[in-house]
Structure 1
Amino acid sequence: MDRVTASPDTRAIVVDDVSVDFPPHGISGAHRAVDGVSFSVGWGEVLGVMGESGSGKSTVARILAADHLRRAGQNVAPSIVGGAVHVNGSAVRSMRRRSLPVFDFDVAFLRQNAADTLEAERTVAEIVAAPILERDRRYDRATLDVRVATLLDELFLPLGTMSAYPYELSAGQRQRVAIARALALDPKVLIADEPTAGIDVSVRSAVADLVERRRRIGDFAAVFVTHDIDLLRAVGGRVVALHSGSVVGVGSVDGLLESAEHPYLTALAHAVAPPARHENREARRTSP
């Protein structure tokens, strides 16, 4: 299968005044999850998206990954009701389900709670190799084994993990296997919802390092939806802060925390910044 080739001046992701609704279901009425959100991601950039639960950040991730088109997705699918979304040159709002195999070849989606979606009856090697073999059953097995082993090594998982089953691994190890599976096709764009969930602090840097290597090799872009402030600092890109479905800040993570122009950002700054920093900021605000 051929990859989609975007023109050199095309940004990796463009989200233009996008609004997303969830339809009524059960006792819940219709819900506007994302309201007039705009941002873009250039090639070689990693954008962070942060916000409280219910802020719309996971909905943004699903839309970017065209997950609303998947029958195997979550039970209630969001619907783009306004604006435009382009990912790797593909117009997501007008995309049809039959276009997903081509789209997925270049755009990988690490969904929330990905560690819980690993096939229990498959070994780690089989799980990571699955996206490749689904497209080419005749793929050289020796080359495939090297590919899988390399991905696991990048995520600080020992070679012996290849023959293990998910139930034999810790939650953090399963999450790293899910990341390896998402990267198996060497995607141009990675959409990751809470990529470091359950991963020990001592190996979280592996995720940032892995992304940095891909940025250096060639065209690559990523969106990290995450509560992990340290990860956002490590990847060093811009951050979009969401609250109640709208953008309330754009900038570096520390710049947003320093300015704290919205109550959500103020609360977050007080939760993560050292006490001295709060005192210095308050002193500057009250000084004549």
Structure 2
Amino acid sequence: MTQTVQDGALENEAPGHDVLRLEGLHVSYKTAAGPVPAVRGVDLALPAGGRLGLAGESGCGKSTLAGAVLRLLPKSARVTGRILLDGEDVQTMTWGRLRAVRWAQASIVFQGAMHSLNPVRRVGDQIAEPILLHDKKVSRAAADRRVATLLDQVGLVAARAAAYPHELSGGQRQRVMIAMALACSPRLIVADEPTTALDVMIQAQILRLIGELVSEHGISLLMISHDLAVLAEHCDRLAVMYAGRIVEEGPADRVFADARHPYGRALADAFPRIGDAASRRGPRGLPGDPPDPAHLPEGCTFAPRCPITAEECLTAEPPLIAAGDGRTAACVRMDVLREGS
């Protein structure tokens, strides 16, 4: 995966090599007080079969970015830039073409399955619906057989197809959502905090299931979470988002273990590490809150919370630059951060 950065730090691959490519993506929302920026100039690429994690606190723009991929944002959203699925710009697709792309080329697993599933329809009918819509030649019997296969793949017996969402546990509902996402054999799955509402044991099972399925089927995965440790375990590369921008991107294990941006470092330090007594007894975390998107601070948006802020951080927002080990970071104080490691 590559990303556009200053000074030719990384060269862009040909767009045809990427299942998903974001180029200069900006998203703002119309409000009575004026437009509010949610995503600001994001450039990311996800190759075929790749797994990219997107991390950040609530309100940093992760879910807005996910919704923009398949034009699922409300009418109040204004989107500019390019969102390329297999080289085709989602922004310029007709509604007919967009309907054909959804589920069949790219699908989304949302945060809360109970809110995404129709409470008055059996889950088997809901899984079968995109299959029948996208392939008119498929009979209902063939669709039902496909549903049974999908349920088996996600660890549920075929008989659960007759259940209503309220008759299933949270983990089972999330498995149904994964089955729906796989129904039309997409090339890309966007998993937007797919385990947020689940307990830690079920969370581990669902994450392992997603990883196994995308690997088995060669599907590209964009996984969104606030949990850097989860993304580092399940993704090849990791992008850290703050105030609508990507502030660090690189190999997942390196970003988690040795972040080159102070925000990425703070996210990693917020989780206790096995074998590290100091972090177990006192995770460091990060004081304060992300800035209000409607009133972003001058200069680096992270400066008000940053422990290594200098005068130069207050005058201009730093661009992404090469940070070594195949990564980029938007910080002019990287050397100071590394010296303090």
TM-score relative to the length of structure 1: 0.81
TM-score relative to the length of structure 2: 0.70
1:107 corresponds in structure 2 to 106
Describe the superposition over 1:82-109 as per-residue Cα deviations: whole angstroms up to 9, x where unpaired.
x322112221232333321222121112
1:62 corresponds in structure 2 to 67
Q: Is the 8 A contact 1:173 1:199 kept in 2?
A: no
Which structure exhibits the higher relative contact order, with contacts defined as CA atoms closer than 8 Å and separated by 6 or more residues? 1
Matches within 5 A, 1:128-207: 128-136=127-135, 139-203=138-202, 204-207=204-207
With 147-156 and 243-252 compared, the bigger mean Cα shift is at: 147-156
2:30 corresponds in structure 1 to 23
CA distance in 2 between counterparts of 1:160 and 1:199 reads 23
CA distance in 1 between counterparts of 2:146 and 2:207 reads 17
Change (3 A) 1:247 1:214: closer
Change (3 A) 1:28 1:151: farther
CA distance in 2 between counterparts of 1:8 and 1:40 reads 9
SS state at 2:134 partner: coil
Unpaired stretches in structure 2, ≥5 consecutive residues:
1-13, 283-337
SS state at 2:120 partner: coil
SS state at 2:17 partner: coil
Instruction: Decide which of 33, 36, 41 is 2:38's aligned counterpart.
Output: 33
2:223 corresponds in structure 1 to 224
User: RMSD between aligned alpha carbons?
Assistant: 2.8
Aligned partner letter, 1:272: F
CA distance in 1 between counterparts of 2:50 and 2:135 reads 30
Describe the superposition over 1:103-141 as per-residue Cα deviations: whole angstroms up to 9, x where unpaired.
212111223434312111211111111111223465234
2:4 corresponds in structure 1 to none
Aligned partner letter, 1:258: A
CA distance in 1 between counterparts of 2:340 and 2:107 reads 47
The aligned length equals 268
Q: Is the 8 A contact 2:190 2:222 kept in 1?
A: yes
Change (3 A) 1:102 1:21: same
CA distance in 1 between counterparts of 2:15 and 2:213 reads 21
Identity over the aligned pairs, expressed in percent?
Answer: 34
Change (3 A) 1:206 1:95: same
CA distance in 2 between counterparts of 1:137 and 1:212 reads 30
Aligned partner letter, 1:29: G
Q: CA deviation at 1:228?
A: 4.1
Aligned partner letter, 2:22: V
1:48 corresponds in structure 2 to 53
Residue 260 (structure 1) aligned with residue 259 (structure 2): yes
Q: Which has the larger radius of gyration?
A: 2
SS state at 2:191 partner: strand
Unpaired stretches in structure 1, ≥5 consecutive residues:
1-6, 69-73
